[in-house]
Amino acid sequence: MSQLSWMITITDRKKAPDFVALYQQQNIHVSLTTVGAGTAVSETLNYLGLERTEKAVIFTTVTDSRWKAVKRQLEHTMNIDVPGTGIAFTIPVSSIGGKRALQFLTEDQDFQIGEETTLKDTKYELLIVIANQGYSGLIMDAARSENAGGGTVIHAKGTGMERAEQMVLIVIKREDKNRIMRAIMDQAGTASKARSVILSLPVTSTAGLRLLEDEEPEAGIEE
């Protein structure tokens, strides 16, 4: 049985096209690339005679077998172990919003559906909604119809999708996941103009979610 994971690659912005090309060679066709910046302090950069490093962050989905093949290529072709080249890591995906989205995200990757998640004791989930530009309001309206809180919109350059230029990130309680995912699929899914695909990742530790914690009943007190 195959595990599906969300793969995140962080590298120098100028090297990002080489990484995307490698992934496409490995039949990983759908990815999103956004930009970031390194966090080295300016004093260190000045001492080394370097400018602040501009980073690219590449997001895509991989099966465990595909990750093993890509990892070898990252090490042997991209020399990712050389300091300054970049890093790549995977996070297990707990669920995908619908069969069409699953087929889209795993195109040309051998994947068999197994259990929904290997992390069953997590309290929260991170919903990742990949959509066309300009539909974050529609997505959030759908999510809030099932009592989701706020979200974060990340603009990115897409490959494998015609106009997939943004991601919406929403942290939710695990018990609310199915209802919220269904609302987004129904109101802003692949059949809509937003053409959203949605997946969820288990959140193993959080900070800053006190408002969500305060909504829960205290132990031993019935509602």
- With a CB cutoff of 8 Å and minimum separation 6, the contacts of 130 are 32, 158, 161, 164, 166, 167, 196, 197, 198
Residue 166, burial from CB neighbour count under 10 angstroms (0-12, 13-18, 19+): buried
pTM: 0.62
Measure the CA–CA gap between 41 and 47, rounded to whole angstroms. Answer: 10
Asked if 111 and 52 count as a contact pair (C-beta separation under 8 A), the reply is: no
**Chain segment 69-86, per-residue pLDDT in tens:** 999 999 899 988 887 788
Asked if 121 and 36 count as a contact pair (C-beta separation under 8 A), the reply is: no
Task: Identify the band that residue 7 occupies on the pLDDT scale cut at 50, 70 and 90.
Answer: confident
**Chain segment 136-169, per-residue pLDDT in tens:** 899 999 999 998 887 878 877 766 655 557 888 8
